[in-house]
Amino acid sequence: MAGNVYWGAHGAIADGAAPSIMMVGDSWFWYPFDNLAQEVGRLRPNETVVVVGNNGAEAAEWSTRYRKDIDFAFRMLASDVKVLLVSGGGNDLAGMKDFLRIVKDDCSTATSVAGCYRTAEPGTLMTMLMGCYRTLITKFRAYNKRAPVILHQYDYAWPTGAGVFGPADWLQEPMLAAQVKADLQRRLFRDLINRLKKAQIDLAGERALGRVLVASSAGTLPENTAIWANELHPTPEGFRLIAEQAIEPQLKLVPL
The band of 1, judged by pLDDT with boundaries at 50, 70 and 90, is: low
Q: Does the pLDDT value for residue 6 go beyond 70? A: yes
Q: Which ranges of 8-166 does DSSP label H, i.e. alpha helix?
A: 9-14, 27-30, 36-43, 67-77, 96-102, 123-141
Q: Are strands 83-87 and 212-214 parallel, antiparallel or unpaired?
A: unpaired
Q: Are strands 149-152 and 5-7 parallel, antiparallel or unpaired?
A: unpaired
Q: Is residue 214 part of a domain?
A: yes
CA gap 247, 28 in Å, rounded: 12
Q: Is residue 215 part of a domain?
A: yes
Q: Coil, strand, or helix at residue 66?
A: coil
Q: Does the pLDDT value for residue 129 go beyond 80? A: yes
Q: What is the pLDDT of residues 200-236, one digit of tens each?
A: 999 999 999 999 999 999 999 999 999 999 999 999 9
pLDDT of residue 54: 95
Q: Is residue 20 part of a domain?
A: yes
Q: What is the pLDDT of residues 163-210, one digit of tens each?
A: 888 888 999 999 999 999 999 999 999 999 999 999 999 999 999 999
Q: What percentage of the chain carries pLDDT values higher than 70? A: 100
What CATH number is attached to the domain comprising 35? 3.40.50.1110
Is 230:157 a contact under the CB 8 Å cutoff? no
Q: Is residue 219 part of a domain?
A: yes
Question: Which amino acid, residue 91?
Answer: N
The model carries a pTM of 0.96
Q: Which helix (H) or strand (E) holds 51?
A: strand 49-53
Q: Is residue 129 part of a domain?
A: yes
Q: Is residue 229 part of a domain?
A: yes
Number of Cβ within a 10 Å radius of residue 64: 9
Give the residue numbers spanning the domain of 215: 5-92+123-158+193-251
Q: Is residue 104 part of a domain?
A: no
CA gap 43, 198 in Å, rounded: 27
Number of domains present in the structure of the chain: 1
Q: Average pLDDT over the chain, rounded to whole? A: 96
